[in-house]
Structure 1
């Protein structure tokens, strides 16, 4: 078993930090100017180690990012982008993504990050819903934008990175022609800064609006306390740049504390073996990945895995199953520390380095946030009772919480109710204030009077040696209302059979409460997922409703 390097955590005493932590929010603040400018004062301080899709490596300093983003901001201003304008940024893991986000901040505009997997229809919706004036993207996505550009009247400043295209502004040419001296817009902390689209289950994606405080300053707690980073650390986050987790762990969290990003612009399908080899080759000290990634990594032969400098591993996006945490710990000596939050927030609940990890628990509330389990009327529930995860917003609203849903006042008012922000997730709290995830409010299965957490059943299924991945949903049933159905991906080389399905059902009955076992099992080659790696249970539920011809 590998031995993780020992480093004193930033948070040495959880309770003391909770008592003494205070948000520091000036009246005027701009992350690109104030924080990146501070690190850029040292011209040699590394901001990023970048490995491109062909394996070429280079180190980029904070000073270079400051200079390049100044150039971009100057170019944007020349082309009519100014305070409040919306600009989509749809790029793979190339340095221009970071330059673009910083440059947009400096000109006082609002960035809208998106994944390169967006199709023409997705792009059209995002451009028109936000009223975007500009887009910065690569030639492949630019071709998709051209398919719908005639239906996007607000889009007047299209910029292409890494190539030339008719009707588009060349990114490199624009920077070369822009004046080097740029005077950034002086932004207030409560001015709008970023818009993220987050998928709903029954409607178009919502637009989550963050200010210059709520994400850039809010993620100080993410970087300092959960990721446990400091100058000199090399942090690798596997998130796609289109997911808000990139803002968490590839931008604001690490750079707020002066850590260096490790960015590997790998293209194509995820390669678990290559990921382990990268951790062995580079002095990466901190690693962040979605649970799906860890589930694939533990299927590899970890007996000879010896990371070069790794001391901290975290997971986010959905809860990580206990058996995966145990397998990783046995092989590496490191415990994967879950963190919980949303596109709408910084990290809200987490397993912090100074707090003993209870495997399977979400952890404890983050300093700066008062998080509780509440009922429909906003009353706090006692330990052991399941309820809504709520974040207290009165008398003072925590900094790392979004401003609201852009263009949707009704939905904003729905989630900010009384003294609480309702996250839409459900959990329970134990006697020691550890939180235990149950599921999205619409994921919870109601079967014959029982409330069943899909995550608990999935965790039980994953303990079976033949199961690589599992997703559990409620399937309509005329007698029980819903039954538990499991979609199972088997370990490579395992053959499907009715006998195996029965064996897995019997196994689950023994591992968890008998009423939770999956009454139906369907073997599948893969599970539907979001770009961030979250299992799309909603898609599986809808498939079941369609198959059975109606709901309960």
Structure 2
């Protein structure tokens, strides 16, 4: 079943789910040697292919070429092995905001044969502790500016050894000082293509973390599949975006995709949605990655003189892209917006629109190598046009670490993503809602995102989120939490206007019977609206 492994610490392979609970994999067109180290492929191999002088990373006031990135990561890898004592298969946690140093640490740990767990800077000690205990993490690399919570975590996890690095360009931390004394040559661990390289923790709504397990080959598959086929990445591309590298959406879009093709990754800690327009202009970015809510903020921040002429693709994922956001983006920029859906369990995007085939309110068709269908609660396909559960399989798929949830996600070889979709007669997939966000009111199935799109098409609405709340007569009613545009005030008048607008836009029974006006909506670091927090 497995090829050769370089892991001395066999924890991850030992804790893969049973083989009969794996999804079916289609690896046609994705051929890699038995010995494969993804980090080498993104650095040393790129130098060998002639990209040594190309700019790999931009951030913290400087640019680094592929040769500089290769040397940097090799020095860091020496420290991990020789000074920290990292062995192949050990888990290494990285705590940092998006910056070149975080990417360098991830690549270095991967070269050393470690299994990397990237984490967000906003996590607190108790949350970090859950990761450490679940994955039995023994080493952590932490930006010294974020050390407080990491040290609290280490105080509760006595087997965890922490080393600080400088997330700025000063290289003034223990890891950096040690690295400066090391050779720029490092014999990377000859990991197997199906050795686990990355543990991606999901951003779900429950308090119990789930870790998804991804092989070295998986990290390249998402680039050689989606990034090559859909985005057509070339060395002249410059990537920007706001998703954290701690999430697989960000790691793929802001690190793996550009580095795989000799392009440039712009990694800026201040790449918040309001700043993205200025960043695209300054660095002449060609590909942008972020969530729909962030694009809406960008549209609000865009003035008449904004120059986005360099941009050739705006990739949207993380949650559904409302048609009004798509339409406004096209109208204001003239640039294509490619909606797609991915999942941490699948590693990255598996259904997407294309440059020559994109439309509002549509997620597109499966990426090459993937197949998708819409099924009912027991796994039977539903007719085109009907809403059901999305099932997908392809070259990547779900493998949970040490969990009892594998059987709930994988059914008969298919990954059941937790999303409700319909497929039209032409094979295009249309998002309805997360399975747990479908609202049943008086016997009607109502998709919250459809109501949100209707509300967003009104000039008074800046942002909104729709949930179902219990109701004695109807089971549930539709409740909309609305952020108004400046100049509009909450009250009965705007409530009635918005309700009538929804009734005129979609089927009247779907209108929000309750409207709650608020100053802001709760969101994750990737810009996803946290609807579960609105449910109380």
Q: What's the TM-score, normalizing by structure 1? A: 0.87
Deviation at 1:32, TM superposition (A): 1.2
| 1:480 and 2:479 are equivalent in the alignment | no
| 1:73 and 2:77 are equivalent in the alignment | yes
Alignment of 1:85-164 (within 5 A): 85-161=90-166
Deviation at 1:425, TM superposition (A): 1.0
Q: Which moved more, 1:38-47 or 1:487-496?
A: 38-47
Alignment of 1:53-68 (within 5 A): 56=61, 58-68=62-72
Paired residue secondary structure (1:426): strand
Q: Runs of 5+ in structure 2 lacking a partner? A: 1-25
| 1:266 and 2:270 are equivalent in the alignment | yes
Partner of 2:301: 300
Partner of 1:16: none
Could you say if the C-alpha distance between residues 301 and 153 of structure 1 is closer, same or farther in structure 2, counting changes exceeding 3 Å? closer
| 1:423 and 2:436 are equivalent in the alignment | no
1:259-299 alpha-carbon deviations (Å, 9 max, x no partner) = 211222317xx362x42223223221121221111111222
| 1:182 and 2:186 are equivalent in the alignment | yes
Could you say if the C-alpha distance between residues 27 and 49 of structure 1 is closer, same or farther in structure 2, counting changes exceeding 3 Å? closer
Partner of 1:363: 364
Query: 4+ residue stretches of structure 1 with deviation over 4 A?
Result: none
Paired residue secondary structure (2:267): strand
Deviation at 1:75, TM superposition (A): 0.8
| 1:347 and 2:349 are equivalent in the alignment | yes
Could you say if the C-alpha distance between residues 21 and 86 of structure 1 is closer, same or farther in structure 2, counting changes exceeding 3 Å? closer
Partner of 1:284: 285
Alignment of 1:153-552 (within 5 A): 153-161=158-166, 170-266=174-270, 270=272, 272=274, 274-345=275-346, 346-354=348-356, 356-392=357-393, 398-402=394-398, 404-408=399-403, 410-541=404-535, 543=536
Deviation at 1:211, TM superposition (A): 0.9
Q: Which moved more, 1:433-442 or 1:295-304?
A: 295-304
Considering only aligned residues, what root-mean-square deviation do their CA atoms show, in Å? Answer: 2.0
C-alpha separation between the residues in 1 aligned to 2:332 and 2:132? Answer: 46
Q: Which moved more, 1:78-87 or 1:32-41?
A: 32-41
**C-alpha contact 1:378 1:419 (8 A) present in aligned 2:** no
Paired residue secondary structure (2:105): helix
**C-alpha contact 1:215 1:401 (8 A) present in aligned 2:** no
| 1:38 and 2:45 are equivalent in the alignment | yes
Tell me the number of residue pairs that the alignment of Structure 1 and Structure 2 aligns: 505
**C-alpha contact 1:48 1:59 (8 A) present in aligned 2:** yes
Q: Which moved more, 1:481-490 or 1:131-140?
A: 131-140
Could you say if the C-alpha distance between residues 494 and 317 of structure 1 is closer, same or farther in structure 2, counting changes exceeding 3 Å? same
Paired residue secondary structure (1:535): coil
C-alpha separation between the residues in 1 aligned to 2:320 and 2:522? Answer: 17
C-alpha separation between the residues in 1 aligned to 2:383 and 2:93? Answer: 44
